[in-house]
Chains A and B, each alone.
Chain A
Amino acid sequence: MELFKNANFDFLGKKWPFIIASLLLTAAGVVSLIVKGGPKYGIDFAGGVNMYVKFAQTPPVEKLRSALSQKIPGEISVVEIPGTQEVIIGVEQKQEKDLDSARRLVVETLAANFGQTGGKLDLHNTGAGELAARLRDPLQRASVGLSDQQLADLAKAIMNFRDGGPNFGILSSLDQLSAVPGVTPAILNVIKQEVALSPFAIRSVEIVGPKIGAELRNQAILATLYALAGMLVYIAFRFETIYGVAAVIAVFHDTIITIGLFSIFNKEISLTVVAALLTLVGYSMNDTIVVFDRIRENLKLMRREKFPNLVNLSINQTLSRTVLTSGLTFLSAFALWLFGGQVLNGFAFALVVGIIVGTYSSIFIASPILIFWKDWTERRSRRTSGDSGSAVAEKRAAGREPMKAVK
């Protein structure tokens, strides 16, 4: 099977519509960023509280939102995760000292509105230690003889049962606990007296103070800039400076477009999204290098070919590989997007977008830059030398100075 038989598309002849499209997309992203006052940062960077709460039924989003905004000042978001019974409660908080109280208020509001357990211990939102402490006396009264160690083990086993598959944190009834090894009918009775199930479980809590948030943001930006500089230096060393510059401009273009799309789709930039952005930088770079590598090889083989034709030929020669690899990488990123769960959703989105944009930018951004640069340096040298002999120009166009020796 073969995708392209002797591919010979005139990519660079049609570069302008694509470059204009790129500029438009970049502009749209930048406008969206400006209008919305910068990227929408997740609490990783902005500071605040994020809680994932899983409900036993469809989450009462509206009720939750109004109950929370009555209690807590500031901006509150309640986002339902499609396809699950989970919501993310976000509270933006600019003051370090208010963070813990914001968390406490969310927990209290949840308990007051949804978790009436009538003084019983809420099994969904407790730990093994608390459960053991709560059961100790009642078990003794019911004359179930358990040593402290046995009790601790039992509590632990109940917690593991609650957290593992297929329950993942939410039990539908306490009777399910009879499946836990060690839970006898007598013990189950005691548990039923002391313990209740609220209809929600808090699955994770993230609290980030503004100070750490700003620190993380600066670190992420620094890491990206340093990574770009490092790659530029490496490519300049292996190829030529202009190749490094072209590759970096191309990945910069990809990053701006992706961040712009995040802004347009109102998605948050979190720490994992930054990891994805850096991955897409690496991926796009990878793609560009494959094309550049072919250009370098062809320059040695075909000294008389005009440079634009040679670049076009190189793109065509690597086209099968580009499409196949991008397609396959896209498949794994797409699987991550579909099945990776909410935590990785932003990450996968950035990759899915990044792979498309990254592939395209190698062909329509990085390669044209090389040609523009060649054109420009040629015209300049022709002007300065005053030597307008066409033979010289053609020689310059076709054969660059010999490349650095490559193995």
Chain B
Amino acid sequence: MQSKLRTKFLIILATILVCLYGIVGLPKSKDELLRNLRNNIKLGLDLRGGSHLVLQVQVQDAFKAEADADIERLKDELNRQNIVFSSIERNDPATLEEADKIEIVIKGVPLDKTGAIRSLVSEKFDAWVLTAINSTDYRLTMKPTKALELRRDTLARSMATIESRINGLGLTESTVQPRGRSDAEAELLIQMPGVDDPARVKQILGTAALLELYEVKDGPFATAEQARLNYGGVLPLNSKILRQSARAGEPEAYFVVARTPVITGRDLRSARAQQGEFGKWETAFTLNQDAARRFERFTETHINKRLAIVLDNNIRSAPVIQNRISDSGRITGANDQQEASDLALILRAGSLPASVTYLEERTVGPSLGADSIRQGIISGIVGLLAVVLVMLVYYRRAGVNATVALVLNALILIGVLAYSGAVLTLPGIAGIILLIGMAVDSNVLIFERIREELKAGKGVLAAIDAGFNKAFVTIIDTHVTTVVSCAFLFIFGTGPVKGFAVTLVIGLIANLFTSIFVSRFLFDWDLAGKKNVTSLSI
């Protein structure tokens, strides 16, 4: 009996020590203790402050861009093979779900070119399927396999771009992961602990940042209409109109530019913020070797003409080319240093292949997090004290056992949280407070049973034995039922609800150990060695 008790004691002691080590490590000073505590118990975004974002990648943008590029290529090929046509146009899918329905319609192809256009599409445009609408018009639809590939590729590239932007911001603890059940939802979940400026981050992540340098054919004009009139109402082939928005001292302006850019964001090697003339902040960029050679040739032949620097389809500036430029350029017009360096960061990270929309944002300021922790701890302690007080008054000596079991229960729970790296959230704290109530229930069940057995005339030891045995069945049933419901919460619930379920389940399992094993041990320990026990303080 004695040695059995000693084994039990050692098991309990070991559990306490292992949990304590997991929570605070082996601190040598008070500071170290607090630091270890902070490192070991990971707090959720709601407690430590931070942002949780869900964004949706507008995949249809990539489909449209793909179609536009292929339309240009198609026009070239048709011209080369002397196939005439009256128009080539694509439809305009507005939503994510309709992205796959992208189609290109070619009209007015002569009857005798049917064979030629069929073989052209099947040889050089293998992403598309050609069907005839009537004898002269054709429709190109995207193959489902290609569409799926493009969807996945767009999502993967968006995710990579967003990740590198976040890294560029120095938000090292942040995570980006796909959300939703399938690729079709195209959603990304971004968690950024400790971020204190979410509006700016959202801005940075949401900017498409498509940088393009265009040859300016004509301009500036006051309106788009004027620009078109300049050419008799019809723009020349291979050109388009771009807008420069109004800026301090300069009105809105329109330029006619070449249809395809000379340089795009993909050609960049680096970008950084710097102070230019008059101390104004600007973003300087350098090109990679390949693009630098191209740019050199281009500027050499276009001296005294304008070059449009375009970001997200808006002309930032259209300087006149003074002399040959090889590998560098500047984007002017930033309001302050932060704007210039944010732009540099975005350019370095690369452009998004499609625009993004925010579906959800939850930001908790650090002050609210600190407040919540304080309130959670206060209500936890008040609840615990109230429960302990009632237990001690009602069960006296046995109440001490229950209290020890309760404290150990909380210790094991926090220890497991520390070891597993599970995150403690506000609903998690609520789960702990609830657990206090449920842990007490186990003890109450046992103690009431022991009282009943004593009343029925059993001896103290027999009553304890019977009480524990009979209550055991009930405790198992109640705990398993709650664990079952928590399992469903975990599987089907979202973030906060999950945190709640995890904490409660860990607590309940720990409770089985403390209420049945530890509490029993305390009774046995108390009575060990005493002969002829006739009364029990319960």
Contacts and interface: CB of A to CB of B under 8 A. Distances in A.
A170 B365 CA distance: 12
B430 A222 contact: no
B78 interface: no
Contacts of B102: none
Interface stretch (B31-39, B153-161, B470-478, B523-531): B470-478
Contact of B394 (A1, A99, A343): A1
Interface stretch (A109-117, A141-149, A176-184, A209-217): A209-217
Interface residues of B, number: 84
A329 B391 CA distance: 12
Given A275-B500, A328-B390, A130 B338 contact: yes
B360 A163 contact: no
Contact of A332 (B202, B337, B383, B504): B383
Contact of A226 (B380, B434, B488): B488
A42 interface: no
A208 B480 contact: no
Main SS at interface, chain A: helix
B497 A275 contact: yes
Interface in A65-98: 96-97
Contact of B430 (A220, A231, A336): A336
B477 A289 contact: yes
A133 interface: yes
Given A205-B198, A293-B473, A317-B452, A286 B438 contact: yes
B358 A99 contact: yes
A278 B489 contact: yes
Interface in A186-215: 201-209, 211-212
Interface stretch (B14-22, B247-255, B439-447): B439-447
Nearest to B445: A321
Contacts of A46: none
Contact of B360 (A107, A169, A207, A347): A207
Given A331-B390, A332-B436, A338-B379, A324 B361 contact: no
Interface stretch (A14-22, A29-37, A121-129, A372-380): A121-129
A162 interface: yes
Contacts of B427: 272, 275, 347
Interface in B358-375: 358-372, 374-375
Main SS at interface, chain B: helix
Interface string B408-450: 0000000000000000001100110110111011001100100
Interface string B201-238: 01000000000000000000000000000000000000
A13 interface: no
Interface in B170-198: 195-198
B482 to A, nearest CB: 4
Contacts of B486: 282
A129 B491 CA distance: 39
Nearest to B484: A230
Given A205-B361, A286-B441, A331-B383, A341 B375 contact: yes
B357 A230 contact: no
Chain A interface bracket (under 10, 10 to 19, 20 to 34, 35 or more) = 35 or more
A99 B53 CA distance: 13
A271 B470 CA distance: 38
B496 A223 contact: no
Contacts of B470: 297
Contacts of B109: none
B276 interface: no
A162 B430 contact: no
B433 A231 contact: no
Contacts, number: 266
A320 interface: yes
B105 interface: no
Given A207-B360, A332-B434, A219 B374 contact: no
B441 A329 contact: yes
Contacts of A96: 357-359
Contacts of B440: 325, 328-329
A290 interface: yes
B516 interface: no
Contacts of B437: 283, 325, 328-333
A163 B371 CA distance: 9
B444 A230 contact: no
A168 interface: yes
A286 B482 contact: yes
Interface string A162-173: 111101111000
Contacts of A9: none
26 contacts: A130-B197, A203-B365, A207-B362, A208-B360, A209-B359, A220-B497, A223-B497, A238-B477, A272-B430, A275-B427, A275-B489, A275-B496, A283-B437, A285-B482, A286-B441, A289-B478, A293-B473, A321-B448, A324-B390, A328-B437, A328-B440, A329-B437, A329-B438, A335-B379, A336-B430, A344-B430
Interface of B: 46, 49, 54, 195-200, 202, 336-338, 357-372, 374-376, 378-380, 382-384, 386-387, 390-391, 393-394, 396, 426-427, 430-431, 433-434, 436-438, 440-441, 444-445, 448, 451-452, 470, 472-474, 477-478, 480-482, 484-489, 491-494, 496-497, 500, 504
Given A230-B485, A294-B474, 18 more contacts: A96-B357, A160-B366, A168-B370, A206-B362, A212-B360, A272-B430, A279-B500, A282-B485, A286-B481, A289-B477, A289-B478, A293-B474, A321-B441, A328-B390, A333-B383, A333-B434, A338-B379, A343-B372
Interface of A: 1-2, 52, 54, 96-97, 99-100, 103, 107, 126-130, 133, 159-160, 162-165, 167-170, 201-209, 211-212, 216, 219-220, 222-223, 226-228, 230-231, 234-235, 238, 271-272, 274-276, 278-279, 281-283, 285-286, 289-290, 293-294, 297, 317-318, 320-321, 324-325, 327-336, 338-341, 343-344, 347-348, 351, 406-407
